[in-house]
Structure 1
Amino acid sequence: MASKRLSGRKAIVTGAASGIGAATAARLRADGAQVFTADLHGNVDFTADLTEPDANARLVEAAVAALDGLDTLVPCAGISAFHALEGHDDAYFLKVLDVNLVSVFRLIRDAVPHLKAAGNGRIVTIGSTTSSHGDEGLCAYSASKHAVLGLTKSVAAELGPFGVTVNCVQPGAIATPMTAPAFTDMPEFRTFWENKAPLRRLGQPEDIADVIAFLCSDDARFMSGHGVWVDGGAMVRH
């Protein structure tokens, strides 16, 4: 049974229609938080394309009105696909950066006044184990996640004096709608990742959501600026 350790927290979770975002919203609610969800589509509180310049400001405004405040951000929205470097067009590369990095920056920036006012704010970004190593065919995704980790560390340094903790969860191979095509169409790829992790399985969205809930809680009050690997042990192979 969930502990209700997040009782009183008021959170935004993006990418909440499916995958890690949906699991995170469910877990935070189970732990007692009020959660305002956002995505491009689906059964969420706020529907928008978060790459639009003013979308994140509108999201923050709507969440603050609905929750009567805001102290927690978990931007889970993200995209990825395999693209070989040769022939990789600018448009896709920039789109990945826009979704995975720029929208995260905008959400954090637009929420800063509320997080400072809360006095015990929490930000948990979503990186990837590709923030620590590269993978072929994932130039755009890997670059975006390296940047998210850097953003996380810089924001942690800037907002720490205001009591805001900022951490980055770095998932390994997780079975989500985003990764399903690769794991379904390329069974050898799934087998590779299952064998790479000492725990010998793919992660599930709930595996990531549970760590996010911890980082949002008072149990993690002295953790900030960290990249936290959640990968079944796969990174011990590097």
Structure 2
Amino acid sequence: MNIGRHSLFRVAAPFLHNLRRSSLFPPRTDVMLPPKTFQDSVALVTGGGTGLGKAMSTTLSTLGATVAIMSRKLDVLEKTAEEISSKTGNKVYPFQVDVRDPKAIASAVDRLVDAVGLPSVVINNAAGNFVSPTERLSPNAVKTVLEIVLHGTAYVTLDVGKRLIKAGQGASFLSIIATYTTSGSGFVVPSAAGKAGVEALTKSLASEWGRYGMRFNCIAPGPIITKGAFSRLDPTGELRERFKGRIPVGRFGDTAEIANLASYLVSDYANWLTGHTVVLDGGELAYSSGEFNAMTEVPEEKWDALETMIRQVKGS
């Protein structure tokens, strides 16, 4: 009996299978936590002008926080701050900062403290990434990504953390990393190295600075369609359906899902959670880790033939 390699798996496009699965797992985009969860709290979000940063900032502001957003583009920040404030009624402060510059970070935090006080929530979301064969990378390309991802996170964390220690104030820190920090990934090597460093930094400080009333956690998101990320990681759009086919729930994530998880992790509801990475990826990491998981695409009618072939195997 011959069921060749090409006839074993479904020949139909994966789109319909993804559609069926995703209908069973629709995203919830409403705000999860109770209103006023962050009333009288100050939250600092790097990379807060767009994408995931904007979504997290919006949710925190909706829940009562005074939010400060940081990135390099002031016009984008000002537009986002106005948009969020008009929606939530709470003040959002835009600060133009390159997280690679410790002096710029210190100056911005000085202004934030003068305006509203020290933050009790810090979300390190600023990132830099693009796809490229590693042999094509220049030293400056590697340096830029590592400085934004790893050094920037360290600079923000150290600047705010030292102030908190001096003031005797606690806080919750959250960093946005990636699912490939544990496995590594080709074609995004500087990002993988940088985010792995952020994860190590997070877990290390969770142990060392817990005595100061600080918690540290990470979120490792799966694929989420945002303009900034996907324009550099999938500029032609050809990889999206392939990515989606590796996600057991059959769809990409929604920024609101990350925002809800982030708001929980930095809230008092998660006060016993520190030193961990929470993976939110629709099951993609688990699927990619199993050698035989692609056999979900074997049609039911093929399994009878496979079972017959297996039973015919003699000996060990």
Q: TM-score range by the shorter chain?
A: over 0.9
Alignment of 1:126-205 (within 5 A): 126-181=176-231, 182-183=233-234, 185-187=236-238, 189-205=239-255
Considering only aligned residues, what root-mean-square deviation do their CA atoms show, in Å? 1.5
Which structure has the larger Rg over C-alpha atoms?
2
Amino acid at match of 1:209: A
Going from structure 1 to structure 2, the CA distance change for 1:120 and 1:83 (only over 3 Å counts) comes to: same
Instruction: Return the offset for 1:118.
Output: 5.6
SS of equivalent to 1:92: helix
SS of equivalent to 2:209: helix
Going from structure 1 to structure 2, the CA distance change for 1:118 and 1:235 (only over 3 Å counts) comes to: farther
Going from structure 1 to structure 2, the CA distance change for 1:90 and 1:216 (only over 3 Å counts) comes to: same
Match of 2:156 in 1: 107
Match of 1:30 in 2: 62
Match of 1:55 in 2: 104
CA distance in 1 between partners of 2:115 and 2:124 (Å): 18
Match of 2:125 in 1: 76
SS of equivalent to 2:77: coil
Match of 2:138 in 1: 89
Instruction: Return the offset for 1:65.
Output: 1.6
Instruction: Return the offset for 1:174.
Output: 1.4
Amino acid at match of 1:24: M
1:43 to 66, 72, 77: 77
Identity, % of aligned positions: 27
Asked if the contact 1:70–1:114 (Cα under 8 Å) also holds between the matched residues in 2, the reply is no
CA distance in 1 between partners of 2:176 and 2:96 (Å): 20
Instruction: Return the offset for 1:198.
Output: 1.2
Instruction: Return the offset for 1:184.
Output: 5.3
* 1:65 aligned onto 2:97: no
CA distance in 2 between partners of 1:205 and 1:110 (Å): 28
CA distance in 2 between partners of 1:73 and 1:33 (Å): 12
SS of equivalent to 1:23: helix
Structure 2: tracts of 5 or more residues without a match: 1-30, 79-93, 290-316
TM-score of the superposition, structure 2-length normalised? 0.72
Aligned residue pairs, count:
237
Asked if the contact 2:46–2:71 (Cα under 8 Å) also holds between the matched residues in 1, the reply is yes
Asked if the contact 1:174–1:205 (Cα under 8 Å) also holds between the matched residues in 2, the reply is yes
1:21 to 53, 56, 60: 53
Amino acid at match of 2:283: G
Going from structure 1 to structure 2, the CA distance change for 1:184 and 1:88 (only over 3 Å counts) comes to: closer
Deviations 1:203-225 (A, max 9, x none): 12222111110011011000001
1:221 to 271, 278, 282: 271
Amino acid at match of 1:201: R
Asked if the contact 1:56–1:103 (Cα under 8 Å) also holds between the matched residues in 2, the reply is no
Asked if the contact 1:12–1:63 (Cα under 8 Å) also holds between the matched residues in 2, the reply is no
CA distance in 2 between partners of 1:106 and 1:47 (Å): 15
Amino acid at match of 1:55: A
